[in-house]
Structure 1
Amino acid sequence: MRLHDRVFLLLGGTGGIGKALVEPLVRAGARVIIASRHPEKLEHREGVSLVHLDLAAPDLDQQLVRLGDAYPDIDGVIHCAGQNCFASLGNMTVNELDAQIAVNLRSAMIVARHFAPRFEKAEQGALVFVGSTFGSIGFPGYTAYCASKFGLRGFSEALRRELADTPVQVIYVAPRATATDMNPEAVNELNRALGNAMDAPEAVAAQILAAMENDDRRRFLGWPEKLFVVINGILPKIVDKAMLKQLPVIRRFLNPGVLS
């Protein structure tokens, strides 16, 4: 996929990985349309347009119609918006569950539903979904997040196969732990305690762009995380045992005050 002269709608472009994508996309000659609930709070710059879009809203489909009418030249969507909540299932509110499903999964499906037919008719277009290692490996404390990212991985795979005989590209990229503001300090401390590496958002952004330029169908980031994804798919009991050994440490950060 070429990036020059493309027009990308970037979802989740106000922070973390999405924010790190803006500069290299503009530098590559692409035009970027950043969608946000509060575009008025963002800084204007050359090559970037700011639009309002609420991914969790019930009328997201209608918002996309208006957005598509205003920007008919969009020929690529990068969905890297996400919400997570590091908590045991019983300690999560229904609103927290709903928010993760709505932003991480439902919005991706509705966005693809809007743009895929347009791209197919135009005989050009790309749908890029940023998932997670936790979309392949269930991890304690992230039950809802894992459910939404497992769903996103399955959705992108099914959609890619549904559009396999069309010019529309469907790409799924799964980062490992990434150092973004979305992580509470307890998660950063947990990763340090477990020895989990955390990538900088800029490094992940570079991998996403590489996957796009190489026309990868899927790309999993990080080692040994990529190996664990394969093992979990073939021999999940091995990962079960490894997680069981880590569980006392995880519980210490998941439920402060509980001794390991």
Structure 2
Amino acid sequence: MRLHDRAFLLIGGTGGIGKALIDLLLAAGARVVVATRHPERLENRTGVSPVYLELCSPELDQQLQQLSEACPAIDGVIHCAGQNRFSALETMAVSDLEAQLNVNLRSAMLVARHFAPRFRKAGTGALVFVGSTFGSIGFPGYTAYCASKFGLRGFTEALRRELADTLLQVIYVAPRATATAMNPDGVIEMNRALGNAMDAPEKVAAEILTAMTKDERRRFLGWPEKLFVVINGVLPRIVDKAMLKQLPLIRRFLDSGAVS
């Protein structure tokens, strides 16, 4: 995929990974339209255009139409917005559950539904979705998040095959744990206790651009996480046993109230 002189709609551009993506896209010669609930808070930069978008809105489809009309040059979309909530399912508020499904899955589906016909008509276009290792491995305390990311992985796979006879690119990138503000201190402490590595946002952003420039269909990040994804798909009982051993420690963080 060529990045120079292209216009990308970046959804989730105010988060840690998103901010790093802006820098890399600009350095590659691309223009970036950053969709956010608070465009007035975005720093003024050459090559960056802020636009309003509310991913949880019931009117998201209409907002996308307005955005598309205002920014007709967009020929690629990167969806890296995400919400998570580390909580036992029984203590999770309904609003938190709905927010994760709306932001992580529903908004991605509506974005693709809007832009795929437009890109197909133009004869070119890219739809890039940032998932998670937890889109392939269920993890205690992340039931809703895993459900949304499993859904996103399945959606992108089906969409890629649905558009296989077109020139549209559908790319799925699955980072492992990333050191962003989305993860509170308690989750960071838990990952340290479990020995789980956390990548810097800049590293993840670079991997996303590598997947784009190499026209990869999917890219999973981190070792041994990539291996666990394969094992979980073939021999899930092995991962079940490993998780059972970790469960007392995980439950200690779940029950401590340090993260919620």
TM-score by length of 1: 0.98
Closer, same or farther: CA 257–104 of 1 in aligned 2, 3 Å: closer
Between the aligned partners of 1:44 and 1:53, the Cα distance in structure 2 is: 18
Between the aligned partners of 1:254 and 1:220, the Cα distance in structure 2 is: 27
Between the aligned partners of 1:212 and 1:43, the Cα distance in structure 2 is: 25
Spell out the pairing of 1:208-219 with structure 2 (5 A cutoff).
Answer: 208-219=208-219
Secondary structure at the aligned position of 1:87 is classed as coil
Instruction: State the 4+ residue runs in structure 1 displaced beyond 4 angstroms.
Output: none
**Structure 2 counterpart of 1:90, which letter?**
E
- 1:159 Cα shift? 0.1
Partner of 1:16: 16
Between the aligned partners of 1:167 and 1:71, the Cα distance in structure 2 is: 21
- 1:257 Cα shift? 7.3
Closer, same or farther: CA 54–195 of 1 in aligned 2, 3 Å: same
Partner of 1:62: 62
Secondary structure at the aligned position of 2:68 is classed as helix
**Structure 1 counterpart of 2:187, which letter?**
V
Partner of 1:91: 91
Closer, same or farther: CA 66–193 of 1 in aligned 2, 3 Å: same
Spell out the pairing of 1:1-260 with structure 2 (5 A cutoff).
Answer: 1-256=1-256
- 1:75 Cα shift? 0.3
Between the aligned partners of 2:90 and 2:74, the Cα distance in structure 1 is: 42
Between the aligned partners of 1:73 and 1:117, the Cα distance in structure 2 is: 15
Between the aligned partners of 1:67 and 1:214, the Cα distance in structure 2 is: 28
Between the aligned partners of 1:75 and 1:104, the Cα distance in structure 2 is: 22
Between the aligned partners of 2:175 and 2:214, the Cα distance in structure 1 is: 17
Secondary structure at the aligned position of 2:215 is classed as coil
Between the aligned partners of 2:16 and 2:187, the Cα distance in structure 1 is: 15
Between the aligned partners of 1:150 and 1:229, the Cα distance in structure 2 is: 12
Between the aligned partners of 2:33 and 2:177, the Cα distance in structure 1 is: 26
Closer, same or farther: CA 257–111 of 1 in aligned 2, 3 Å: closer
Secondary structure at the aligned position of 1:55 is classed as coil
Between the aligned partners of 1:94 and 1:7, the Cα distance in structure 2 is: 37
Kindly tell me the number of residue pairs found equivalent between the two proteins: 258
Secondary structure at the aligned position of 2:197 is classed as coil
Between the aligned partners of 1:222 and 1:62, the Cα distance in structure 2 is: 37
Secondary structure at the aligned position of 1:5 is classed as coil
- 1:60 Cα shift? 0.3
Secondary structure at the aligned position of 2:101 is classed as helix
Between the aligned partners of 2:151 and 2:257, the Cα distance in structure 1 is: 33
**Structure 2 counterpart of 1:61, which letter?**
D
Between the aligned partners of 2:95 and 2:218, the Cα distance in structure 1 is: 31
Between the aligned partners of 1:18 and 1:162, the Cα distance in structure 2 is: 28
Secondary structure at the aligned position of 1:255 is classed as helix
Specify every segment of 5 or more residues in structure 2 that has no aligned partner in the other structure, as ranges. Answer: none
Percent identity over paired residues: 77
Secondary structure at the aligned position of 1:149 is classed as helix
Between the aligned partners of 1:160 and 1:55, the Cα distance in structure 2 is: 22
